[in-house]
């Protein structure tokens, strides 16, 4: 059928109108479908987030009162007494100084034990055992040259107080202070001659020494007391061979001879008609001072203890019943040492 031009345009307009009407209807369906799908997706997303939140809430409980976790304390390791050596080089050559160390070797409370005239570090065995139970505390006992496990020195008159003082000073400098911090508290316990050396060490180290504890040695030693001490030593030697005595004491024979010489005590001190005075050694010391003495001692009498208390008002003293010179290390004395150290 042949269409006129006017009729053809009318027919084309109808076709285009119907096509556009169909496209519009399809587009509206797509829009409605997309909106519904977006709404469904949104609802699913919200439900998913809610479920996730509920899951997190369920498996991760919230503590209303959380505890602050403190850092774990340092492990406390106790070392049983063991012998070590410190090497010294001087006019007598290279020699070794022996010392026993025990306790908490990382501890800041350090007790240095100095023995008497012809004693060894073995005299402090009970001290080592007593302090093993204390955390942050270690004990070091020393053999002076010519005693115990330390090297002997050859030559007449070689053993002198100045030598012992120099050795102890170097040991404290290098073994203790050289590997420590400012928190350490050093207490020196000295028996008789060791107590005298402890006083002189306070002059060298000053504030680095927390305290000193003197075992049966006061600030004055009477001439008569010294005479009695040396007389008893000579009487002991008179009944025994010096070689036998040296073996029993673990002391060099020459050391036994040298301690009886006038030049053995070559440190400065003030002398008067009464005896040897060590007041000046502790005159400027501000640390703690403790004194243990035997009730029957002829070296550290009660009179001398009272005089020391007047010179050092903050001094704490302990009398050991039925004891002479020096005072023995029993539990009473160990408790006193512990209190003086502040452990």
Burial of 334 (0-12, 13-18, 19+ CB in 10 A): middle
C-alpha distance from residue 188 to each of 54, 111, 113, 274, 282 (Å): 67, 6, 6, 27, 13
Look at the alpha carbons of 39, 42, 46, 51 in this order and tell me if their dihedral is positive or negative.
Answer: positive
pLDDT higher than threshold 50 for residue 20: no
Across 60-77, average pLDDT = 57
Binning pLDDT at 50, 70 and 90, where does residue 141 land? very high
- Comparing CA positions, the residue from 251, 97, 89 lying closest to residue 171 is 97
For helices 242-249 and 223-239, what crossing angle results, to 10°?
A: 110
Do 330 and 201 reside in the same domain of the chain? yes
Residue 71 lies in a domain: no
> In angstroms, rounded to a whole number, what is the distance separating the alpha carbons of residues 307 and 279?
10
Do 220 and 293 reside in the same domain of the chain? yes
> In angstroms, rounded to a whole number, what is the distance separating the alpha carbons of residues 238 and 34?
122
Assessment of whether the complete model's pTM goes beyond 0.75: yes
Q: How many domains does the chain have?
A: 2
pLDDT higher than threshold 70 for residue 146: yes
Do 186 and 272 reside in the same domain of the chain? yes
Q: How many helices (H) and strands (E) does the chain have?
A: 10, 11
Residue 74 lies in a domain: no
pLDDT higher than threshold 60 for residue 71: no
Do 247 and 315 reside in the same domain of the chain? yes
C-alpha distance from residue 159 to each of 199, 244, 246 (Å): 19, 20, 15
Do 131 and 40 reside in the same domain of the chain? no
Do 268 and 145 reside in the same domain of the chain? yes
297 contact partners, CB below 8 Å, separation of at least 6: 216, 323, 324, 325, 326, 327
Across 2-12, average pLDDT = 42
Q: What percent of the chain has pLDDT over 90?
A: 64
Position 31 scores a pLDDT of 37
- Asked which of 62-76, 112-126, 233-247 is least confident by mean pLDDT, the reply is 62-76
Position 241 scores a pLDDT of 79
Residue-range definition of the domain harbouring residue 37: 11-50
Do 282 and 218 reside in the same domain of the chain? yes
pLDDT higher than threshold 80 for residue 238: no
Do 188 and 333 reside in the same domain of the chain? yes
Do 105 and 170 reside in the same domain of the chain? yes
Do 30 and 85 reside in the same domain of the chain? no
């Amino acid at each position: 059928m042949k269409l006129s031009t006017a009729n053809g345009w009318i027919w084309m307009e109808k076709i285009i109108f119907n096509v556009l009407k169909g496209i519009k209807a399809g587009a509206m369906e797509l829009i409605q479908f997309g909106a519904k799908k977006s709404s469904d997706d949104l609802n699913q997303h919200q439900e998913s987030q809610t479920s996730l939140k509920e899951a997190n809430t369920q498996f991760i409980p919230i503590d209303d009162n959380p505890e602050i976790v403190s850092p774990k304390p340092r492990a406390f390791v106790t070392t049983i007494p063991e012998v070590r050596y410190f090497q010294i080089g001087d006019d007598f050559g290279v020699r070794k100084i022996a010392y026993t160390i025990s306790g908490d070797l990382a501890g800041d409370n350090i007790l240095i034990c100095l023995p008497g005239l012809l004693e060894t570090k073995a005299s402090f065995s009970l001290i080592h055992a007593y302090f093993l139970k204390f955390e942050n505390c270690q004990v070091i006992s020393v053999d002076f040259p010519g005693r115990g496990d330390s090297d002997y020195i050859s030559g007449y008159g070689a053993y002198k107080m100045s030598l012992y003082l120099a050795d102890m000073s170097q040991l404290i400098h290098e073994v203790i202070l050289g590997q420590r911090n400012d928190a350490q508290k050093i207490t020196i316990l000295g028996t008789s001659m060791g107590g005298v050396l402890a006083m002189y060490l306070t002059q060298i180290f000053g504030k680095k020494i927390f305290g000193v504890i003197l075992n049966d040695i006061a600030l004055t030693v009477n001439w008569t007391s010294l005479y009695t001490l040396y007389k008893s030593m000579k009487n002991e030697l008179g009944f025994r061979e010096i070689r036998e005595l040296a073996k029993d004491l673990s002391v060099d024979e020459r050391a036994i001879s040298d301690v009886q010489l006038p030049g053995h005590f070559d440190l400065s001190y003030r002398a008067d008609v009464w005896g040897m005075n060590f007041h000046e050694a502790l005159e400027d010391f501000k640390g703690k001072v403790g004194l243990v003495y035997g009730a029957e001692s002829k070296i550290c009498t009660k009179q001398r203890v009272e005089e020391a208390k007047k010179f050092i008002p903050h001094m704490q003293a302990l009398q050991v019943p039925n004891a002479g010179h020096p005072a023995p290390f029993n539990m009473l004395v160990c408790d006193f040492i512990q209190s003086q150290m502040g452990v």
